[in-house]
């Protein structure tokens, strides 16, 4: 899931474990714990692009890491509070500045998403996010910077439990997305992916985050505080379970479409499209082609009327099947990829799990997740490209109409 969602989940777990003992510090450290697994993105600084892609959601997202790491982070946090440095003015000023900058970065990221998608800034999103930032800044100034901080009595074991739940829930939630999570590293690189929720789903995150914000304003020992936190956890969990029901229904419809067309598939997958859980796509693998169809729960009839044929094009990789980048991308895409010849003559490998920008597969620019292949020293090397990934207002409007059940 996206970083904001994982921060929210981690903060809620921290509150559930230690909120009564340490107040909003529990949310703060829970948010940090919920972010720790994604720090593997710094591998981009030391690895080439394809190796870094394979490293993401690996060891730091494993069950082993979730068990071992909390002991380390729990002990370090306990030692930090034992030192008493957290009560000093210079430290509080520095910490407050850092957190406000991080919150400002989150607000910026939240507002960039609708701008990138539609070319316009969402005024409600901007106003709400800025208001939350301002309110949080005021809260930090009054209750943190100017306040005489209480002594933190949590033990190293308490902190270890907080980090366990905030880290452990991160890869579990990631496993529900199509991207795939290597839960069993370092013993296996198998990617667990239930494909029931998008990597960004506002209906999961927004109610959860609002409940958490309300809880943060209430006294740490208040029953209402615990109620609001658990309400957020309950709503998000209920929605997550509901998405499995959506997946079951789409699976039935996609199987019916394959039978109607007389297609014998080796395997198939279904997954929701970005930003929602109402519009889904199905992807089936045949001998020489893939078959793709989509369905919105707002469609007039519960049927997938047509399937798009996507030639595999795997023969274009002849002689390079065992090249390092090709093997990695075949593993990463779980074999759901095709290869096309670009207009400039180069090859392009497309990860089909993430679909097409314009609900078609006619152009090299239509694929969401694609890599340009170039031969270097007799071996094909891959480079991810973002060209064509800018969705204009018309494309976004078409996407929204498709969610609402329109096929034009």
pLDDT 10s digits, 251-275: 999 999 999 999 999 999 999 999 9
Compute the residue count for the chain. 408
Number of domains in the chain: 2
Contact 206, 2 (CB under 8 A): no
User: What range does the domain containing 172 cover?
Assistant: 3-194
Contact 229, 309 (CB under 8 A): no
Give the pLDDT confidence score for residue 169 in this predicted structure: 98
Report if residue 176 sits inside a domain.
yes
What are phi and psi for residue 282, nearest 5 degrees? -115, 145
Q: Pinpoint the alpha helices (H) of 286-359.
A: 324-332
Give CA–CA dist 272/213, Å, rounded. 28
Output the CA–CA distances (angstroms, integers) from residue 266 to 158, 258, 289, 307, 405, in the order listed: 49, 11, 11, 16, 29
- Domain boundary residue, one of 194, 211, 240: 194
Do 34 and 182 reside in the same domain of the chain? yes
- Give the mean model confidence (pLDDT) for residues 100-123: 72
- Domain boundary residue, one of 170, 194, 218: 194
Report if residue 303 sits inside a domain.
no
Q: Are strands 308-311 and 279-285 parallel, antiparallel or unpaired?
A: unpaired
Report if residue 292 sits inside a domain.
no
Output the CA–CA distances (angstroms, integers) from residue 219 to 7, 24, 123, in the order listed: 21, 9, 32
Report if residue 181 sits inside a domain.
yes
Q: What is the pLDDT of residues 347-357, one digit of tens each?
A: 999 999 998 87
Strand partners, 397: none
Q: Tokens in use for 345?
A: 């003559």
Sheet strands (E) in 273-318: 279-285, 289-296, 308-311
Give the pLDDT confidence score for residue 122 in this predicted structure: 76
- Domain boundary residue, one of 148, 165, 194: 194
Do 7 and 154 reside in the same domain of the chain? yes
Do 317 and 190 reside in the same domain of the chain? no
- Is it the case that residue 391 has pLDDT exceeding 70? no
- Is it the case that residue 285 has pLDDT exceeding 60? yes
């Amino acid at each position: 899931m996206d970083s904001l969602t994982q921060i929210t989940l981690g903060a809620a777990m921290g509150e559930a474990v230690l909120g009564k003992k340490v107040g909003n510090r529990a949310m703060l450290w829970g948010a940090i714990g919920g972010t720790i697994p994604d720090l593997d993105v710094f591998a981009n600084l030391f690895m080439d692009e394809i190796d870094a892609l394979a490293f993401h959601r690996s060891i730091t997202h494993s069950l082993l890491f979730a068990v071992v790491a909390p002991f380390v982070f729990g002990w370090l946090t306990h030692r930090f509070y034992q030192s008493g440095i957290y009560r000093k003015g210079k430290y509080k000023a520095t910490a407050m500045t850092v957190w406000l900058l991080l919150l400002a970065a989150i607000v910026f990221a939240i507002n960039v998403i609708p701008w990138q998608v539609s070319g316009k800034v969402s005024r409600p999103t901007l106003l709400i996010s800025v208001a939350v930032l301002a309110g949080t800044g005021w809260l930090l100034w009054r209750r943190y910077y100017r306040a005489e901080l209480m002594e933190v009595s949590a033990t190293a074991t308490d902190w270890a439990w907080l980090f366990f739940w905030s880290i452990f829930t991160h890869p579990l939630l990631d496993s529900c997305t199509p991207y795939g999570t290597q839960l069993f590293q370092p013993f296996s690189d198998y990617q667990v992916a239930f494909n029931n929720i998008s990597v960004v789903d506002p209906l999961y995150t927004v109610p959860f985050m609002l409940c958490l914000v309300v809880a943060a304003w209430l006294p740490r020992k208040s029953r209402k505080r615990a109620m609001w936190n658990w309400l957020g956890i309950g709503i998000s969990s209920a929605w997550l379970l509901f998405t499995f029901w959506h997946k079951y229904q789409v699976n039935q419809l996609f199987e019916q479409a394959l039978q109607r067309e007389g297609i014998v598939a080796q395997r198939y997958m279904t997954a929701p499209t970005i930003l929602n859980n109402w519009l889904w796509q199905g992807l089936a693998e045949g001998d020489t082609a893939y078959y793709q169809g989509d369905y919105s729960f707002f469609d007039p009839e519960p049927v997938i009327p047509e399937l798009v044929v996507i030639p595999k094009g795997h023969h274009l990789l002849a002689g390079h099947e065992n090249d390092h980048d090709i093997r990695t991308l075949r593993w990463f895409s779980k074999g759901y990829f095709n290869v096309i010849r670009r207009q400039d003559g180069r090859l392009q490998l497309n990860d089909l799990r993430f679909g097409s920008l314009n609900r078609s597969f006619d152009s090299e620019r239509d694929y969401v997740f694609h890599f340009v292949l170039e031969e270097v020293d007799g071996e094909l090397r891959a480079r991810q490209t973002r060209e064509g990934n800018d969705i204009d207002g018309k494309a976004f409007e078409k996407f929204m109409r498709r969610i609402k059940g329109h096929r034009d």
